[in-house]
Copies of this chain bind each other. A is one copy, B any other.
């Protein structure tokens, strides 16, 4: 069962009944994978958030888009003498470190500015073989130009997006511009399309299935958003279950203009407690 954070917590509060539901699912022999498009944290960073909220989760149960970026680079045998330029935050740098992939940019480039003078050309590292673009509260023209130079001028340089979500949830008081903005900036200056590794793209799902030894028919994608989680599951051939405790309302789901339909839907994750007997016997 794949679980995005929106079905587990809202802001800094665990949604009612979630801990008991996770315990019940594990006891029923279900494997749980917590999947998130948020790339600002590594898997270890996410584990800390789970622990701080009092949730008992294993590090191997977490799959973030920061990790997906590193896993994608490993899957294409990214050369050991090349490095990654990061637009994004610490999570991507940490996951690249764990994968033994060299990198620059990201947190190191916060606050850097372009100092213009007649005839000035910004230097860039010819060894950058991939640009990874994740959510970055410190996006700047310096970073945009650096990434643009690498993608345009370094032969074969990959352009990888952790995800292209229009919105993200920095706080639960409002919707915040998401990594769609950072990726859109680099698309706009390079006129190139990125390889997306997070939801709803194919890579993350294929990698999870391989890593955990699962067939797609065995996987249920739970989600609170039609346009990311449920679409991701449906495209991937998974069973999908929408919970109404997050972004998508029942009115949106049932509206005639909605074209994304989950296999199942329910109010919140803990409704599964009542379905315990059928789960165990399945």
Q: Which residues of A contact B (CB under 8 A)?
A: 11-12, 114, 116-122, 136-141, 144-145, 148-149, 152, 164, 166-167, 170-191
Contacts and interface: CB of A to CB of B under 8 A. Distances in A.
A223 to B, nearest CB: 19
Number of copies: 2
A174 B149 contact: yes
A139 B141 contact: yes
A9 B173 CA distance: 50
Contacts of A140: 139-140
A141 B144 contact: no
Main secondary structure of the interface of A (DSSP, over half): loop
A59 to B, nearest CB: 26
B173 A120 contact: yes
Nearest to A170: B116
A134 to B, nearest CB: 13
User: Which 10 pairs from chain A and chain B are nearest by CB?
Assistant: A184-B188, A180-B188, A177-B189, A184-B184, A121-B173, A121-B174, A181-B189, A185-B185, A181-B185, A148-B177
Contact of A182 (B118, B136, B180, B185): B185
B189 A184 contact: yes
Contacts of A122: 174
